[in-house]
Chain A
Amino acid sequence: MYPNQDIEQIEKYLTNQLSESEKIAFEGRLEKDEVLRATYSKHELAHKALDYLITKNLKQQLMELEAADEEQVEEADQDNIISINRKKNKTRRLRWIGLAATFALLVSFVFLNYFNQSSLTGPALANSLYQLPEASIRAADGNPIYPEVLLEEGIQALNNRDYAKAIDQLTQIPEDGAYFYEAQYFLGHAYYNSDQFADALKAFDIMISSDDFRFLPDANWFALLSCVALENDCQNRLNTILNNPKHKYYNAALKLKRQL
């Protein structure tokens, strides 16, 4: 076998790309061929070094995730302590303001029913809170991360408000494709802006099912808006956000809750 073919075989063996019979044949050659064995050792060592690099970086990433989690828990605990202290002070005053609060509620009820001609529900409510996010994914240096043509063109169409084209491009990305879940996120926006709320909800839910933490908070929020636009029961989706005070859309969800 020629040297380049040997190296190709070695790399395939080290990356488990050989069939069982090919592996056995290769191992047989290794035993007999000293030159091949020497070359193999070098490549094997290189792969072990890369395995070590992967392990080291994964460890670092897990530690960073852990540190970020602990920071969130500490801040949430701080908020809880502050809110508990505030509650204690409030209890004394509650009795005195009880009557005033009841009166205020009655007035608000009358006001809302007789003077507020534009109480929002369904699509109108969802649209009042919807904002198309910046539809691009870029690396720190500003270059786009996704060179995949369909995804890029789909995002471009979304930015140009050509939602039909965006849907056409993004629905072509196959389920086993590398960017399927990212495409679902942008597809959700394309559907939403075409008033196809059921399809939007489905697309956002697919994105949520991937558990990709880069998009999860946004997908949760826009899935919620799609649900509201459909006038479905969205309490569980709302609670998903409201149960996490650090959620990106926590304040927006509070605002939505007041209006529902």
Chain B
Amino acid sequence: MTAVTLNNELVNQIKLGGLNRQRAIAQIYQDKRLKKQVVDFVHKNSGSKEDGIDIFHEGIIAFDENVRKEKYRGEGDLKGYLYSICRFIWLNRLKRDRRMVYTSENEQLDDIIYDTPETKSLKDEQKHLLDQVLGQLSEKCQKILEMWKLSYRMEEIATQVGLKDAGVARRQRYKCYQKLIQFLDEKPTLKNLLK
């Protein structure tokens, strides 16, 4: 299989969602060479091994989101793209923390959020409020909504969560979603923070 075919296949699997996405992410995670490249880069730029692993994870998460939101459609080399994301995240973290950066690499990737100390504290507040809102939903509701958002079929959702059938899952999803909207409505601060 050529690299281009593999790129496209992984991207398509993530877009399909469900178990396909899980497999694709597992395959990317298991790329030890890529992980080592990221960890080595972070280590050469004032980071620890743990920082490197954390950045590798952050890179996969950002990559997953970019694919699902069609910000990356498979153009160019997937591994190169993911490596660039990781590099960008780390360099920005260094700048945010005002640590010295011994590299001339200064690429901008428009789709990655740049963290300044101000945006970081804003993000923490967003996360805190989101955790509060999501915490008001039952674990079952959270699971149903997460799986629905990740394009799992209703039959899969029903089985995973222990519901009778797809019809029941569909109705349950609707109720959980309405609850989520209601809880978010009760937090006008969050609305402003997420704009």
Contact = CB atoms under 8 A, between A and B. Distances in A.
A26 B84 CA distance: 34
Interface in B99-158: 126-127, 130, 133-134, 142, 145-146, 149-150, 153, 155-156, 158
A49 B180 CA distance: 9
Contacts of A41: 191
Contact of B64 (A58, A147, A178): A58
Contacts of A53: 130, 134, 142, 145-146, 149
B69 interface: yes
A99 interface: no
Contacts of A48: 194
A42 B146 contact: no
B149 A145 contact: no
Interface in A34-89: 41-43, 45-55, 57-59, 62-63, 65-66
Interface stretch (B18-26, B75-83, B90-98): B18-26
Nearest to A212: B23
Nearest to A41: B191
B61 A58 contact: yes
A59 B57 contact: yes
Contacts of A212: 19, 23, 26
Given A62-B29, A211-B27, A51 B180 contact: no
- Is chain A's binding surface mostly helix, strand, loop or mixed? helix
B138 to A, nearest CB: 13
B23 to A, nearest CB: 5
Contacts of A63: 57
Nearest to B32: A69
Interface stretch (A102-110, A114-122, A136-144, A249-257): A136-144
B34 interface: no
Contact of B57 (A45, A46, A62): A62
B5 interface: no
A13 interface: no
Contact of A52 (B23, B130, B153, B177): B130
Interface string A1-23: 00000000000000010000000
Interface in B166-195: 177, 180-181, 184-185, 190-191, 194
Given A49-B130, A55-B65, A42 B184 contact: yes
B30 interface: yes
Contacts of A54: 146, 149-150
A211 B23 contact: yes
Contact of A211 (B26, B53, B133, B159): B26
Contacts of B134: 49, 52-53
B29 to A, nearest CB: 6
A211 B130 contact: no
A16 B69 contact: yes
A77 B82 CA distance: 30
Contacts of A43: 181
B158 to A, nearest CB: 7
Contacts of B142: 53
Contacts of A59: 57, 61
B159 A144 contact: yes
Given A148-B155, A178-B18, A211-B30, A42 B149 contact: no
A147 B26 contact: no
Interface of A: 16, 41-43, 45-55, 57-59, 62-63, 65-66, 139, 141, 143-148, 178, 181, 210-213
